[in-house]
Amino acid sequence: MKKMIFSACLALAGFFGLISTVNAEGLTLEGPPKIAMLYISPTNDGGWTQAFDEARQRLEKDLGIKIQYVESVPESASAIRPAVERFIKRGANIIIGTAFGYSDTFKALSEEYPNVAFLNGSGTTNGPNLLSFYGRTYESQYLCGMAAAAASKTGKLGFVAANPFGQVNWTINAYAMGAHEINPDATVTVVYTGAWNDPTKERSATKALIDQGADVIGQHVDTPTPQLVAQENGVYGTGHHRDFREFAPKATVCSSVWVWDRFLKTELEKIIAGNWVPNPNGALLSMQEGGTDIACCGPNISEEEEAKIMAARDKLLKGELQIYAGPLYDQDGNLRAAEGEVIPDPELWQMDWFVDGVITQQ
Amino acid sequence: MSELALRRPLINRRYTLELRQHMAWYWQALILGASLVLGLLVSGAILVAAGVPAGELLNEFVLYTLFDAQSLKSVLFQASPLIMVGLAGCLAFRARFWNLGLEGQMIFGAIGATAITLWDIGSPSLRLPLMILTAMACGLLWAVAPVLLRLKLRVNEIVSTLMLNYIAVNFLLHLMYGPWKDPKDAFPYSPKYESFELLPDLPGGLSLSIPIAIGLAVLVLWFVSISRAGLYLRFVDKSPDVARSVGVPVARTILMAVLFSGALAGLAGLMVAAGQEGRLTHSFYVGYGFSGILIAFLARNNPIAATCAALLIATLFVAGRSLQVFYQIPFAMVQLIQAVLVICVASSDFFIRHRIRRVQGGE
């Protein structure tokens, strides 16, 4: 009897095992790939969206496929839906979004259209045909922190940030840790503007930081305003999204840049090849996987320091350097990562603490 | 000599503009329709100049947007909060109160509704009605201060309502990045609403918010045209001083209209949060304040016309999106076309209200 129950259990287990292999069967597109992208801002916004559009143009060349796009789609279901549904109706079977606010709508759409592959930059939702991706900006911003400390005379760095939450805070901490590689006494004073794209607030925040003695201004906001203000005031800065030497060649010493095509090329090839199974936890890309990189180095950085930065970059590109590896303490002395440990991703997203040397209004 | 003879009739020919007292509704509709067609022709010319094949325009764009079931659904999906802010604009403007605080009232409406979901107030079956009432109450409360300031201290409501928007936005951001962020992933939006906290879909796929919006349009129509308050409102609109001297309770009438306006804006916030997004998000309100004012202006504060104008604006949004999808034209072009259409419709007002008459020269 016991044996029978046991074998019944085994059979049941085998049955479920079968089901799960059926489920694990990935997505294979019907018909030739037709790709469409949704941008949150205009293609010439100088930052986030323009980086995606530049990646799109490189992908068109690399993959030999025309990629359609639609710009200025705000983060609301009533704007996203008509655009995506229209694309799908016109034959698109790979949809790429570019905003965190698309997450819920993309999730719902991916369930309604199970034969369409969905990708979403900076999204939070995933599924059998939906993959959200983002870059580990703390890696590239760590390198920019090194460059900032190298360019600084006073060791007082300023940082203009958007909103106080995980993906901004991890940038700030890494910036400070990078700066400490060059100058252990460097401080990073942070001003949150409360907005991703507000040139007026960014200007006043940058000015305030410079008035307080900061001589290099880092940033994690969307416009190049902090760099422009730094240049006007004869100090230096580090950019975000794209190479901001385009806007402030005399000021920008380093920029954290998106290299989406490095990731999207391989991912799109996987989708086109068929049997695509996206990572159920999303893709948080390291520099090695093609999320971010740096454009370095601008003025006022010696060859010796540049070599140091490039050596760290090489390590990151090879996956040999972990920024959030222990032992790591926050300002209040709490252990955040023990020796030999790396902070896991879910905790990174929740990051609400700062390392020594970071000064915030919080 | 001969020159003078040729010129004289021209010199003597004179035209005058007269105010029209009234125009039959079908003439009004005809003028409105003609202006819309003119706007479409101008837009078409712009698009053709931008390289869009002329033959495809009518076929793919106009017909597709208006007669495709999915597009129609998108239009209606977008329209209900627009109808709400349009009605809210109509009501306040009829009381000569320039309520530029529609967005702030919307934000507080949605915050109130979200508070009900977060604190689990009421049983599941009562939850949605409770959210609707709370949203209206919160929108109304956010309109109390500016209307009292205006009535008691003569503080200009244009400034006060506009400034209160900033307070509302920053409070919303504080909640989204602070106490109300989703504990699941620490991202700046509230936790998802439960299924019984969402505005349900009716059979056929339409959201419940559409019948609610139309019902409220009828209610507002009753309020402004049949009820006693509506009669008072017309007095106040024409001349507050005369109204006061003939014994109309001016302050109470303004107060009532503005609070009603705030409540409707609050409901618009709920319609976006519980009807479209399924949670409170950090930028759900963007653009609605301006759209509400535009809709009320186009509709000349008539609730039924506002409903039509809101549908027109929603159609423009959806059609503009298809244009982009079809032809990869920049978004700025879509905004240009929307502006051309709105200007055409708005100028048709001139011909409805005025007539040009030739008068004899003074010989």
Q: Say yes or no: A109 and A145 in one domain.
A: no
- For an interface test with B, the pick among A78, A87, A109 (most B C-beta atoms closer than 10 Å) comes out as A78
Give domain status of residue A19, yes or no: no
pLDDT at B7: 54
In a domain, B320, yes or no: no
pLDDT band at A295 (very low <50, low <70, confident <90, very high): very high
A224 and A254 co-located in one domain: yes
Q: Give the domain-ending residue among A88, A105, A135.
A: A135
Query: Do A251 and A329 belong to one domain?
Result: yes
Burial class (CB in 10 A: 0-12, 13-18, 19+), B323: buried
Last-in-domain residue among A80, A114, A135: A135
Residue A337: enclosing H or E segment and its boundaries?
A: strand A335-337
Indicate whether B230 belongs to any domain: yes
CA-CA-CA-CA torsion sign (B192, B193, B194, B200): negative
Comparing A5-14, A93-102, A342-351, the range with the smallest average pLDDT is A5-14
From A42, A82, A165, residue closest to B331, measured CB to CB: A42
Structure tokens at A51: 């980086």
CATH at A332: 3.40.50.2300
**B234 interfacial to chain A (CB closer than 8 Å):** no
Report the number of distinct structural domains present in chain B: 1
Q: What pLDDT digit, counting tens, does each position of B326-347 carry? A: 888 888 888 898 889 889 988 8
Higher-scoring residue by pLDDT: A74, A22: A74
User: In the beta sheet, which residues pair with residue A219?
Assistant: A160
What's the average model confidence in pLDDT over A31-48? 93
Chain B residues in contact with A350 (beta carbon < 8 A)? 186
Q: Which residue of B has its CA nearest to A347?
A: B185
Within a domain: B45: no
Measure B42 CA to nearest chain A CA, in Å: 23
Let me know if residue B158 belongs to a domain. Answer: yes
Q: Among the residues of A127-254, which ranges form H helices?
A: 137-151, 166-182, 199-211, 225-232
pLDDT in tens, A330-341: 999 999 999 999
Would you say residue A144 lies in a domain?
A: yes
Residue with tokens 């359609």: A68
In a domain, A2, yes or no: no
- The answer, yes or no, to whether residue A3 has pLDDT greater than 50, is no
Q: Greater confidence, B350 or B125? A: B125
- Point out the domain boundary residue: A135, A161, A188: A135
Tell me the count of A-B CB pairs closer than 8 A. Answer: 89
| A contact test, residue of B68, B70, B321 with most A CBs within 10 A | B321
Mean pLDDT of B220-228: 93
d(CA B284, CA B190): 12
Closest-CA distance of chain A to residue B198, Å: 14
Q: Would B261 be classed as within a structural domain? A: yes
Which of A22-31, A78-87, B136-145, B257-266 has the least mean pLDDT? A22-31
| CA distance, residue A277 to nearest chain B CA (Å) | 23
In a domain, B46, yes or no: no
pLDDT tens across A176-228, in order? 999 999 999 999 999 999 888 889 999 999 999 999 999 999 999 999 999 99
Q: How far is B271 from chain A (nearest CA, A)?
A: 11
Whether residues A106 and A80 share a domain: the answer is yes
- pLDDT score of B207: 86
Nearest-Cα residue of chain A relative to residue B286: A74
Nearest CB among A86, A166, A194 relative to B173 is that of A194
pLDDT digits (tens, 9 = 90+) for A235-286: 999 999 999 999 999 999 999 999 999 999 999 999 999 999 999 999 999 9
Please determine, for the modelled complex, whether the ipTM score is greater than 0.90. no
Q: Is B85 an 8 Å CB contact of chain A? A: no
pLDDT of residue A25: 79
| Chain B residues closer than 8 Å to A88 by CB | none
Q: A42 and A83 in one domain? A: yes
**What's the number of domains chain A is made of?**
2
How does residue B12 score in pLDDT terms, banded at 50, 70 and 90? low
Note whether residue B19 is domain-resident: no
Indicate whether A110 belongs to any domain. yes
Q: Give the nearest chain A residue to B276 (CA atoms).
A: A77
Residues of B in contact with A75 (CB under 8 A): 281, 283
A177 shares a domain with A325: yes
pLDDT of residue A2: 46
Domain that residue A202 falls in:
137-258+291-359
Q: What is the pLDDT of residue B70?
A: 80
Please list, in sequence order, all residues whose beta carbon lies within 8 angstroms of the beta carbon of residue B54, skipping any fewer than 6 positions away: B44, B48
Asked whether the beta carbons of residue A76 and residue B272 sit closer than 8 angstroms, the reply is yes
Whether B165 maps to a domain, the answer reads yes
